[in-house]
Amino acid sequence: MEPHPQLTSFLSPYPPHVSELAFSLRKFVLQQAPRASELIYDAYNAVSLAYSLSDSLKDAFCHIAVYPNHVNFGFNRGTELLQDMVVLEGTGKLIRHLKVTNDQKFPRNEVTLLLAETVEISIRRNPNLAKSNIQPASIVKSISQNKRRP
């Protein structure tokens, strides 16, 4: 799936290595979950890309949050993951993430397994996703006028 035309402009203020990392992780998610739609949020403190089997954030299974010096690769229901092959960060009620600073050190094999598990969690929470015929799309969901980021 081609990125939404505005995504490149949202990421342009970031250092090149950070925006390249975000695009690399985006490609990885879409290879693992080709039925996923991409929900883009140009937010106050980060550009975030959520991946969902619908066009709704409540069904999202993972996300990418872009910050000035790194990218967080997050699992929206990370506290429910059973596999523990990767140490995830976070103290919230649901979300856990990996802080990614280098594409070469990103644990693709392990995250592939976690993605499969988190997609299943999403489908268990909303069984209609299993038989959904929604065409994947890259959708800008919100643009914050005020920003505290590049």
Give the Cα separation of 38 and 97 in Å (integer). Answer: 18
Residue range 72-118, pLDDT digits in tens? 999 999 999 998 889 999 999 999 999 999 999 999 999 999 999 99
pLDDT at position 35 is: 94
pLDDT at position 147 is: 84
pLDDT at position 63 is: 98
pLDDT at position 140 is: 96
Give the Cα separation of 125 and 32 in Å (integer). Answer: 20
Edge-to-edge strands of the sheet including 96-100?
Answer: 96-100, 71-75, 60-66, 47-52, 37-42, 138-143
Does the pLDDT value for residue 150 go beyond 90?
Answer: no
- Determine the average pLDDT of the residues in 3-7: 94
pLDDT at position 133 is: 83
Lowest pLDDT segment from 16-30, 46-60, 123-137: 123-137
Does the pLDDT value for residue 139 go beyond 90?
Answer: yes
pLDDT at position 132 is: 81
Name the residue with higher pLDDT: 121 or 132: 121
Residue range 32-81, pLDDT digits in tens? 999 999 999 999 999 999 999 999 999 999 999 999 999 999 999 999 99
- Of 55, 75, 60, 69, nearest in space to 22 by CA: 69
pLDDT at position 83 is: 83
